[in-house]
A and B are shown apart, each in its own frame.
Chain A
Amino acid sequence: MTSTDQQPFLSVRDLKVHFSTEDGIVKAVDGLSFDIARGQTLGIVGESGSGKSVTNLTILGLHDPARTRIDGEILLDGQELLTASERTLEKLRGNKMSMIFQDALASLSPYHTIGTQIAEVYRKHTGASKKEARARAIEMLTRVGIPQPDVRVDDYPHQFSGGMRQRAMIAMALVCDPELLIADEPTTALDVTVQAQIMDLLKDLQQEFGTAIIFITHDLGVIADIADDVLVMYGGRCVERGTKKQVLGNPQHPYTLGLLNSMPALDGPVDVPLSPIPGSPPSLLNPPTGCRFHPRCAFAEKVAGGKCSSAQPVLEVIDGRGSACHLETSQRDALFADYAATAGHN
């Protein structure tokens, strides 16, 4: 379910992001729509080149305007972002909406202390004094569980461990109490035990501040842990969306089904081969015609008239639930049940 409010907090409508490169036009995002309500977590799942990161850089306006063509609408709390001036965006970034990235070591400046990097966001958006900003930085470091925050505030990122760096990054993103937090694979580079800590931290902070979170990941396990709603992206388009329970428990798109069945579970059967999705993710320079997943789809032949390779399936969303597939709904249940049974990993 997307929202019970009259108006969603963030609304993305028919977003298209095209890059011009030396080799041609890359259609990184090709007609994407979604909403997210305050305090909700939307999980965006996808592999490399699915367009999931590009979408979120576009929301913050961090794309390279010289090489990028963008169509569609992005409304944050009723305000259109795509046509907003750079000055307007600067005031929103780090303040009303902020972002955390995967590689915290590369994403934090090596030349400034952790404290400076947190404090400067606060000063920029609140006009606080240096002293107040420093106190706030220490408060935030305490909040994200950095030991001895009053000492570590003067450390440089390279003096922090991987997990602490990601905590510092979260502190920096949340210092101005943003209403929207975009987390781009924030735990992918971390060890599982640290990943678990960071996920708990994000959940706690969300509870406390009521932040809406877009959580981008390729890991369905992480989605199962943190998301309310899920959006599955493939080749620059949304192929399936719904609540976490709907998408993971009753997938309606062959790609989602394939992803769920390709990875071994901690309690799955062993000594049977895994059920991979054949082939590789599509090139966005030259995407397949029709349904972009059809060259890898196990069910493309079940659709009459070669429709999968000729016509793009439409994503019909009813009550926040939908999938973009030519298979008849009636066909799907039986076929998917068979697939899951032979895959045998659930």
Chain B
Amino acid sequence: MFRFLVRRALGALVILLIISAVTFWLFYAIPRDPATMSCGKNCTPDMLEQIRKNLGIDHPVPVQYWDWLKGVFVGRDYAGFGHCDAPCFGYSFANREPVLGTILDRLPLTLSLAFGSAVVFLIFGIGTGMIAAVKQGKWQDKVASSASLVASSLQIYFVGYVAMYFLVAKLGILDNPSYTPLTENPAEWASGLLLPWLVLALIWTANYTRMTRSQLVETLSEDYVRTARAKGMSSRNVFFRFAWRGAMGPIVTIFGIDLATLIGGAMITEYTFSLQGVGRLAVDSVEKSDLPMLLGVTLLAAGAIVIFNIAVDAVYALIDPRIRLA
């Protein structure tokens, strides 16, 4: 296990380095100068030069990348901001705020959104999928299958606005989406996020229903499940200890990737409910040509995917003894 983690951590580092380099290169491939953008209307060449120096972009691209990389590992000195301790992801071109601080500010909301909706869609998705698989071909299965087909083709912005209109504005059952830190007031934290959780979870629930059903239909017809029945195990035992055990692996794999994607930012959801999370930050940084912020958000998203991938492999090995980590 230790060897596995070390090897995979090294691999992850390489991947993140490549991603950061590619992002850097892509950013400058677009003919847009961040200095000009923040210089304003009455811009003189001298001012421009000064801005470049302050932002640390007065060097060729490879040197800039090297400076940025150094900043991440050992910290760096900016002409405009002074010393920045490692890990230094730089300062926003747009509002001159430190990148790391901004992301850490936004992250709790994004994590709350991701984990909260994950709890909802896992419970409902897997539960419904199990019922559909057990009642294969019966009305329960047909209802679950068609409902999940409809739900998975819905779009968040549509469902989101409709839900806000009816549940919040018309009926007043739910609170207007807002974010209160969990540590401040757990009740407000939950009530403010309940609507986004439910809307986000609705669509994902549909996916997990279908996935759980199809995995279980497959494992229920496995020979070892038949053997378990042939030796007199009760139906409940056969279902949970044998069929579900076999279906879990693929579901865990997909869930790991899905959760990582959500942590990278549920952009549309955040926009729909006017929440200031990481996804929103990512879109804004693209719009404003804010390279340091964009790099930070990209690495967060990539890092989440890489880390969850490693976690998924580790969990898979726990579920399935045939998998050996090396």
Chain A residues within CB distance 8 Å of chain B? 60, 62, 66, 86, 90-95, 98-99, 101, 103, 106-112, 120-121, 124-125, 156, 158, 169, 172-173
Contacts and interface: CB of A to CB of B under 8 A. Distances in A.
Size range of the chain B interface in the assembly: 20 to 34
Given A106-B223, A107-B226, A109-B228, A156 B233 contact: no
Given A109-B242, A172-B231, 12 more contacts: A62-B230, A66-B138, A93-B229, A93-B230, A95-B232, A99-B230, A106-B222, A108-B227, A109-B228, A110-B322, A111-B319, A158-B321
Interface of B: 136-138, 222-224, 226-235, 241-242, 245-246, 319-322
Contact of B320 (A93, A101, A110): A110
A327 B3 CA distance: 73
Contact of A120 (B222, B233, B322): B233
Nearest to A121: B231
Q: Which 5 A-B pairs have the closest CB atoms?
A: A94-B231, A94-B232, A93-B232, A106-B223, A107-B223
Contact of B227 (A66, A91, A107): A107
Given A106-B222, A111-B246, A98 B228 contact: no
Nearest to B231: A94
Given A111-B319, A158-B322, A101 B229 contact: no
B227 A109 contact: yes
A99 B319 CA distance: 27
Nearest to A116: B241
B322 A90 contact: no
Nearest to B242: A109
Contact of A121 (B222, B232, B321): B232
Contacts of B231: 93-94, 98, 120-121, 124, 172-173
B321 A156 contact: yes
A173 B321 CA distance: 23
A106 to B, nearest CB: 4
A124 B227 contact: no
B232 A101 contact: no
Contact of A108 (B138, B224, B320): B224
Contacts of B226: 62, 101, 107
15 contacts: A62-B226, A66-B138, A91-B232, A94-B231, A94-B232, A94-B233, A95-B232, A101-B226, A101-B227, A106-B223, A107-B226, A108-B227, A110-B322, A124-B231, A169-B227
